[in-house]
Chain A
Amino acid sequence: MSQVAETSGAPAAPAPDASYDGLRLRNLTKSFGAFTAVDDLDLDVPRGSFFALLGPSGCGKTTTLRMVAGLETPTSGSITLAGQDITYAKPYKRPVNTVFQSYALFPHLDIHENVAFGLKRRKAKEVDAQVKEMLDLVELGVQARKRPTQLSGGQQQRVALARALINKPEVLLLDEPLGALDLKLRRSMQIELKRIQVDVGLTFIHVTHDQEEAMTMADTVAVMNQGVIEQMGSPADLYENPRSTFVANFLGQSNLIEGRITNRAADLVTVDMQGIGVSIPADRAHADGDMGWVGIRPEKVLIGEPGATLDAPGNTIPGGVISDVSFVGVSTQYLVRMPWGQEIQVFAQNTGRTRLFAQGESVELSWRPEYAFLLDHAQDATAGAQKDDA
């Protein structure tokens, strides 16, 4: 919890910290009747970063975004931007612009007029030249006199981006901006967006439920669930060392195996996992109490014949039987039924160095201790798991 931890020492003093030049949310809460969409949220977004707010639908990420934009009034808490308190500022008075999920392009105005809208409201100079330059940046110069409905989805998306970017906001908010595009277009727009962000150097806050999108684009990802931030950090950090079952399941896939903590040393925690002793580095152990979930990513699990020497000095778990094999080209995905009844997922790279196993074969699993993590037993082992492999 790198950034949250830095400031959580003084939550009682929401006084705007004039020295912080990014976006800072303190104790932000939004309730709709009995439902709390955002619950006492603290968040720091450094200036110039590409920040992703990732979570399933209904987790409060869009509400958070709308409060930053001024389209929703917080129930309590504060929002400061570069030291300025903007908690209750009107949307048209804050240096924040939004790329809406549905784009919200004005259908009665052409592309040029749409992009010029914000500049004109602020009585900027040389509007036409600026609009032209911006449309060239998003490669829509020739479409300037068309109406939004005459453009394709991807083009509309770029107009929405241009319309917000041209105002050079302190913070650009993107509300699932790629949600309506097909997969191929999405991928190219992800690269495009990242490029533009690096070029203009503005702070981008990107709201999405697509973990892959968040991880490819953002420098910092905050995973949000039920109104609170579960964990925040760099994509690699989140993926390699999740602190909750929700993050472990929502970002990629994880095998979570129940175990009893037998010993806590300074740098190593030892766990009795279904009768097998495994060890986990102390900085990857996030469990209080006696029990925990031992977590391991499927691609970190090595698979071999019983008795074979696997390239993983550490934890070896014998007695597995292959219950399902799917060959997906770059890798083979196995389901291995363990003696205690659980099925463990294993992704084996098709490097050609190991042979393929067939259904019903007996195997042994193993992983390096530094890849495993330990999560609190009080958490639901299925939290955040995707219903389908979208």
Chain B
Amino acid sequence: MRWIRNNLVLLLGIAVLIYTFIPIAIVILMSFNDPNSRLIYSFDGFTLYNWQNPCEPDGMCGALWTSIKVGFLATLFSTILGTLAAFALVRHDFQGRSSSNLLIFMPMAAPEIVMGSSLLALFVAAGFAGQLGFWTILIAHIMFCLSFVVVTVRARLAGLDDNLEQAAMDLYATPSQTFWRVTFPLVFPGILGAALLSFSLSFDDFIITNLNAGNTTTFPMFVWGAAQRGVPMQVNVVGTLMFMIAILIVVGGEVTSRRRNAKLA
């Protein structure tokens, strides 16, 4: 009893964490489900069929591939543009810094539905109503990933000790050597984090994408459509895989950094 009272907050915290994991458990369980009916969503029996035939549902793997392509390109562009902008904001002085900061902040605060409908209004006004699809999705995704990249890289860059670059210069490194041997390696974890965040934001977006996709279908849109008709179990296979990949990336990163430290300690 005493132990419980002393650790009450921790136990409650763990309970909240468990709450966040309940749906994941269901997703993993359902990926092995052998349903009796497509309409009634319950666990009826164990099978590996879904894992062996992941692309069976019509259009699912196509949608997944579209999401991966969009996610990759949106990550690439938003990471490059956002990193450059972060360097500008931290390292350079110019007129309009505060309005630039506001411009970066606003997309993170604006509701997605407003951003989505604004973009749609623009595309329609510009006469692109018929050409909505891959490219308009990509434009939108780069737009909403950008701010997150700038903020993440900017934080990393602002936390960088000014003296390190001065020390490099003092030790005969030219400005370009200083950048590539000191600044960039130290900012890189921030850039990598920003890229991972961008990919997951892009991959998971539904609200903005749905308004600007035309006839193109991304994975979240496929799931949305399927939810009305009956969800194929293979959706859970994809959900489980995503979860596992994310865990692998995070745990992998943690293990490498721990091992490096442990070896040296």
A adjacent to B, CB under 8 Å: yes
- The answer, among A69, A92, A104, A167, for a CB contact under 8 Å with B174, is A92
Chain A residues within an 8 Å CB radius of B110: none
Within 8 A of B (CB), among A100-152: 100-102, 104-108, 110, 117-118, 121-122, 145-147, 150
CB-based contact A100/B163 at 8 Å = yes
> Total interface residues on A, using CB and 8 Å?
30
CB-based contact A100/B169 at 8 Å = no
Chain B residues within an 8 Å CB radius of A147: 261, 264
CB-based contact A167/B167 at 8 Å = no
Whether B132 sits at the interface, judged by CB under 8 Å, is no
Chain B residues within an 8 Å CB radius of A150: 261, 264-265
CA of A105 to CA of B165, assembled, Å: 10
CB-based contact A69/B170 at 8 Å = yes
CB-based contact A92/B163 at 8 Å = no
Whether B177 sits at the interface, judged by CB under 8 Å, is yes
Q: A91-B166, A102-B163, A150-B264 are in contact. Are A107 and B173 (CB under 8 A)?
A: no
CA of A145 to CA of B265, assembled, Å: 10
Q: Which residue of B lies closest to A143 (CB)?
A: B264
* Chain A 1-44 interface 0/1 with B at a Cβ cutoff of 8 Å (1 = within): 00000000000000000000000000000000000000000000
CB-based contact A102/B161 at 8 Å = yes
Q: Of residues B164, B168, B171, B174, which shows the largest number of chain A Cβ atoms within 10 Å of its Cβ? A: B171
Chain B residues within an 8 Å CB radius of A102: 161, 163
* Chain B 237-263 interface 0/1 with A at a Cβ cutoff of 8 Å (1 = within): 000000000000000000000000100
Smallest CB separation, A163 vs chain B (Å): 7
Q: A92-B173, A121-B177, A145-B264 are in contact. Are A100 and B167 (CB under 8 A)?
A: yes
Q: A71-B166, A100-B166, A108-B185 are in contact. Are A121 and B264 (CB under 8 A)?
A: no
Interface SS majority for chain A: loop
- The answer, among B161, B164, B173, B265, for a CB contact under 8 Å with A121, is B173
Q: Of residues B163, B182, B261, which shows the largest number of chain A Cβ atoms within 10 Å of its Cβ? A: B163
Chain B residues within an 8 Å CB radius of A92: 169-174
CB-based contact B170/A97 at 8 Å = yes
Q: A145-B264, A150-B264 are in contact. Are A104 and B163 (CB under 8 A)?
A: yes
Whether B186 sits at the interface, judged by CB under 8 Å, is yes
Within 8 A of B (CB), among A60-100: 69-71, 90-93, 96-98, 100
Q: Of residues A70, A101, A121, A122, which shows the largest number of chain B Cβ atoms within 10 Å of its Cβ? A: A121
CB-based contact A104/B264 at 8 Å = no
CA of A107 to CA of B163, assembled, Å: 12
Q: A98-B170, A150-B261 are in contact. Are A108 and B186 (CB under 8 A)?
A: yes
Within 8 A of B (CB), among A294-309: none
Q: Which residue of B lies closest to A69 (CB)?
A: B170
Give 20 pairs: A residue, B residue, CB < 8 Å, sorted on A: A71-B166, A71-B169, A71-B170, A90-B169, A92-B170, A98-B166, A102-B161, A105-B167, A107-B186, A108-B186, A110-B264, A117-B171, A117-B181, A118-B171, A121-B174, A145-B264, A146-B264, A147-B261, A150-B265, A163-B171
The 7 closest A-B pairs by CB, nearest first: A118-B171, A104-B163, A104-B167, A121-B172, A91-B169, A92-B172, A108-B185
With A102-B163, A110-B264 known, 9 other A-B pairs at CB within 8 A are A69-B170, A97-B170, A100-B167, A101-B163, A104-B164, A107-B164, A118-B172, A122-B172, A167-B172
